[in-house]
Amino acid sequence: MNNFDPNAAAAKDSGIFGLPFTLEDAKLVLLPVPWEVTTSYGGGTSRGPQAIFEASKQVDLFDYDLGNFYESGIAMTVLSQEIQNWNTKARMMAEIVIGADSNTPEAAIQAAIQEVNTYSQKLNHYVYTETKKFLSQGKMVGIVGGDHSTPFGAIQAFLEHYPQMGILHIDAHADLRDAFEGFEHSHASIMHNVISRTPLTKLVQVGIRDFCEEEYNFIRLHQSRIQTFFDSAIFEQKMHGKGWSAICDEIIQQLPGEVYISFDIDGLDPRFCPHTGTPVPGGLDFQEALYLIKKVTQSGRKVIGFDLNEVSPGTDNTEENSEWDANVGARLLYKLCGYTLLNT
Ligand SMILES: [Mn+2]
């Protein structure tokens, strides 16, 4: 922090948000996971962490709601080259499955699915181990995806540390599909995996507006553990004159005292994330999402950690293409850091 001027432009070799912290002196560690193996529609989310890192240098450090929380220290780990290599190899295998037609031998499809699943397990183990390491050091942790399959290992590690925690899941999709396209750890299956493979007791979903009947039935089957605030139900309440603040209170009431936030950027209105893999019309306004998170902390609950995923700079690398999504992502990430650091 010596010689650091929070009001100046970010130095060239600075860390995330232009900050000078090392992993050792940061209270909050961000783990980037450049991974998009199972995405089936628009691509680019594996480059999300790098794009957010670059855009983060433009974020003003002083925050209207949270003051100078950055002083507790925020640092991002170096992007793992090994994970990027796994991503490339597993993606090639996934494309065999996604692009399969009637001429593709069934054995080739099954072998490719098997290989993708093995890479996903390796990825989950990596994210679990890294998260566990930092939590054991007494640090807070945030995951920066990548697609929405990336936080599974982190959620496992958080649950070992905070067994009573609940998940606040902001997303356009329910993500409750069982092994979508045969991939056990598909981005569309993250919360199915959390419910079926971890002891999590409370999943509270907000903004959900794209799901299949099987997912709807899964929610009803697990209604003691899953509470879903569908986007169209939220909209209808608003049309009947109910304020967002009162709706937030109902959402928050479902959450336990310790809250992990799993934030898929496509939970927001697509104008905030036009290049995300699977945009859906409708969704939350940027300020509505922030207000919900603020109210979680005002209720006395603690945000203990988070993931931010599906931010994509697009695939054609033009500057106007890449900047906006990452700009929104970096600002959202900064707020998530701030509300998490309130606990320190
Ligand atoms: Mn999702």
Give me the residue spans of the domains in the chain.
Answer: 16-341
- 77-86, 177-186, 315-324: the lowest-pLDDT one: 315-324
Mean pLDDT estimate for the chain: 95
How many angstroms separate the alpha carbon of residue 157 from the centre of ligand 1? 19
d(CA 32, CA 336): 15
Contact in structure between 154 and 128 (CB atoms under 8 Å): yes
What residues pack around ion ligand 1 (CB closer than 5 A)? 148, 171, 173, 175, 264
Q: Once rounded to an integer, what is the mean pLDDT over residues 273-277?
A: 93
How many angstroms separate the alpha carbon of residue 186 from the centre of ligand 1? 10
Q: Where are the alpha helices (DSSP H) in 15-149?
A: 48-56, 81-98, 106-136
Which amino acid belongs to residue 117? Answer: N
How many angstroms separate the alpha carbon of residue 243 from the centre of ligand 1? 26
d(CA 340, CA 342): 5
Q: What residues contact 341, with CB distance under 8 A and at least 6 apart? A: 27, 28, 66, 69, 72, 74, 140
Architecture of domain 16-341: 3-Layer(aba) Sandwich (3.40)
**CA dist list (Å): 82 to 34, 190, 204, 264:** 10, 22, 34, 24
How many angstroms separate the alpha carbon of residue 3 from the centre of ligand 1? 41
Backbone angles phi, psi at 342, to 5 degrees: -60, -25
How many angstroms separate the alpha carbon of residue 43 from the centre of ligand 1? 14
Dihedral sign, CA of 165, 184, 34, 265?
negative
Please report which confidence band the pLDDT of residue 210 belongs to, taking 50, 70 and 90 as the band edges: very high
The predicted pLDDT at position 215 comes to 98
Nearest CA-CA partner of 297 in 338, 244, 254:
338
How many angstroms separate the alpha carbon of residue 2 from the centre of ligand 1? 40
Number of alpha carbons in the 13 Å side-chain half-sphere of residue 268: 27
Q: Once rounded to an integer, what is the mean pLDDT over residues 306-322?
A: 80
How many angstroms separate the alpha carbon of residue 106 from the centre of ligand 1? 29
Class of residue 89 by CB neighbours under 10 A (exposed 0-12, middle 13-18, buried 19+): middle
How many angstroms separate the alpha carbon of residue 30 from the centre of ligand 1? 19
Contact in structure between 62 and 18 (CB atoms under 8 Å): no
Please report which confidence band the pLDDT of residue 321 belongs to, taking 50, 70 and 90 as the band edges: low
Strand intervals (E) in the chain: 28-33, 74-76, 140-145, 166-170, 203-208, 226-230, 258-264, 302-309
The predicted pLDDT at position 317 comes to 61
How many angstroms separate the alpha carbon of residue 123 from the centre of ligand 1? 17
Using one digit for the tens of pLDDT, what is the confidence trace for 159-207? 999 999 999 999 999 999 998 889 999 999 999 999 999 999 999 999 9
How many angstroms separate the alpha carbon of residue 272 from the centre of ligand 1? 15
The predicted pLDDT at position 267 comes to 98
